[in-house]
Structure 1
Amino acid sequence: MSSTLGAPRPDQAAYMLRAAAGEAGRAYKQRLLDLLEIRPGQTVLDAGCGPGTDLPHLAALAGADGTVIGVDHDPAMLDQARRRVDSLPGVELRAGDLHALPVAPGSVDRAKIDRVLMHVADPAAVLGQLHLATRPGSRIALAEPDWDTLAVDADDLDTSRDFTRYTTSDVVRNATVGRSLARLAEHAGFTVETVLTAAPVFRDFQDADHTLALGRNLHRAIDAGRIEEARGRRWFAALAEGPFFATFTLVTVIATR
């Protein structure tokens, strides 16, 4: 293909921060943290903390006597998180794989995993590790998208559907883990209390192109022979002209140990 479509691939940390700062990101995160019911003095785990977006908020909820532990496998993410929480007491950052959490068994009161299970090798194993790390009476919050539900409005709905199928089958490792969260949590030994869904709405094409990787993933689908180039370019150009609409399902699960 002669040129890349859409916005260039962003820095991963910048991508996560922008997604969290958007209206949809703020809304579901606030709801997740409210339902997690963090109390002063508790030990809170952010498994897959990334650049530390949520760590200051978690620390404020846990209070001066609480402990917040952020775990991530990426040194670059931890470097950014460290700068974000450097002045906050009670916040610990640990390098580690979520399949082998660097946390003492039975030491955690509250835990969250936010849009991370879709990327890991074995979501069930990660939730097993979370069960091991939490103590009886603890509470966890999980949030993941179901990319199979990605809907992009267009006159050419066949290409929209082909784009969603490619995203689900080739781009995201565990693209439908959102719909499986409650089942996986129960199998790991948790008791599911609440299952909620949200459907973030994108009306701005540029914002959607950045967050949903419309151009980047279309480019990959064309290179893979999954979408014919001329058809794909026509579809993308029509989306850019607007009006634009896209959405997907985001699933949040609250469970207790």
Structure 2
Amino acid sequence: MTSGFETTRPTPIDYLDRLAATDAGRGYKQRMAEVFDLRPGHTALDVGCGPGTDLLALAEAVGHTGSVVGVDHDQEMVERAARRTAAHPRVEVRRGDVHSLPLDDATADRARTDRVLQHVEDPSGALAEIHRVLRPGGRLVMGEPDWDTLAIDHPDLEVSRAYTRHIVERVVRNAAIGRQLARLAARAGFGVPEVVPVTQIFRDVRAADKILGLERTTRRAVRAGYLTSDQARRWLDHLAHGPFLASVTLHIVVADV
């Protein structure tokens, strides 16, 4: 099973930086920034800030009178984010868990999560915790994919469906979180004035591979029994050499306190 696709998984830091640099990544992040309504003087919270990919843009938006707090549970991510923002005194990076944020009640004007809640143990608990730290009139903006919408063109539709089903059932913890966010946010006490669907289209198979890890995920699907080795071989051969098209929808959800 050889396809020319990546077989070595990138580090989490490399993956997050890579995603942010793609056209798809820049597009949905810009849309998130537009509805975030971040203003000079605000205190902004980036929940699951990773290696600090977005912290400098947030710092620029809040200006000299505002502040930015990045929180991540991973020590390596925290250290990388702290180094990247060391020259910006209004940015602070803290290690902490989304289920128990290291902030006092009602301390932030804005909060964001970017592809974070798909991985957490308790999305409802995380939303309640973010609600706790936001001030009255505050806003949370979330960007999360719905992996159940992943559609990859292939002559055998059942193989394509099996590949997506494997991701939904085995790979991503909260794979349908994108469609669930509005409901979960409302239950956590937020008003939800806007939901923005962003459908990402991939026509370059190599670009898609950098985000989707096509061969690595296919190998996992074989081991898990979703695809046979022969199906996987034909699947990857078509993806590598045939016309390619894939799409997945990410939901941007605006939630107000």
TM-score, scaled to structure 2: 0.97
Residues 69, 92 of structure 1: 8 Å contact kept? yes
Residues 13, 50 of structure 1: 8 Å contact kept? yes
How many pairs align?
Answer: 256
Offset, 1:3: 7.3
Residues 106, 135 of structure 1: 8 Å contact kept? yes
CA offsets per residue over residues 89-137 of structure 1, 9 Å max, x none? 2100000110000111100000001100000000000000000000100
Please say if 1:172 is aligned against 2:175.
no
What is aligned with 1:203?
203
Q: Percent identity?
A: 48
Please say if 1:218 is aligned against 2:246.
no
What is aligned with 1:6?
5
Q: Within 2, Cα distance between the matches of 1:165 and 1:252? A: 23
- What letter corresponds to residue 187 of structure 2 in structure 1? H
Please say if 1:159 is aligned against 2:159.
yes
Q: Within 1, Cα distance between the matches of 2:192 and 2:204? A: 35
Residues 198, 251 of structure 1: 8 Å contact kept? yes
Q: Within 2, Cα distance between the matches of 1:129 and 1:213? A: 32
CA separation of 1:99 and 1:5: change in aligned 2, threshold 3 A: farther
Q: Within 1, Cα distance between the matches of 2:93 and 2:43? A: 13
Offset, 1:5: 7.9
Residues 4, 240 of structure 2: 8 Å contact kept? no
Offset, 1:144: 0.3
Offset, 1:139: 1.0
Please say if 1:77 is aligned against 2:92.
no
Please say if 1:22 is aligned against 2:18.
no
Q: Within 2, Cα distance between the matches of 1:249 and 1:108? A: 29
Q: Within 2, Cα distance between the matches of 1:221 and 1:239? A: 16
Q: Within 2, Cα distance between the matches of 1:112 and 1:222? A: 36
CA offsets per residue over residues 56-98 of structure 1, 9 Å max, x none? 0000001011110000001111121112111112100000110
CA offsets per residue over residues 177-236 of structure 1, 9 Å max, x none? 000010111111110011010111111111111201211111011112221001111111
- What letter corresponds to residue 112 of structure 2 in structure 1? K
- What letter corresponds to residue 5 of structure 2 in structure 1? G
SS in 1 for 2:240: helix
Q: Which runs of 5+ in 2 are unaligned?
A: none
- What letter corresponds to residue 6 of structure 1 in structure 2? F
Q: Within 2, Cα distance between the matches of 1:155 and 1:140? A: 41
Offset, 1:4: 9.5
Residues 205, 242 of structure 1: 8 Å contact kept? no
Task: Give the root-mean-square deviation of aligned CA atoms.
Answer: 1.3
Residues 5, 216 of structure 1: 8 Å contact kept? no
Q: Which runs of 5+ in 1 are unaligned?
A: none
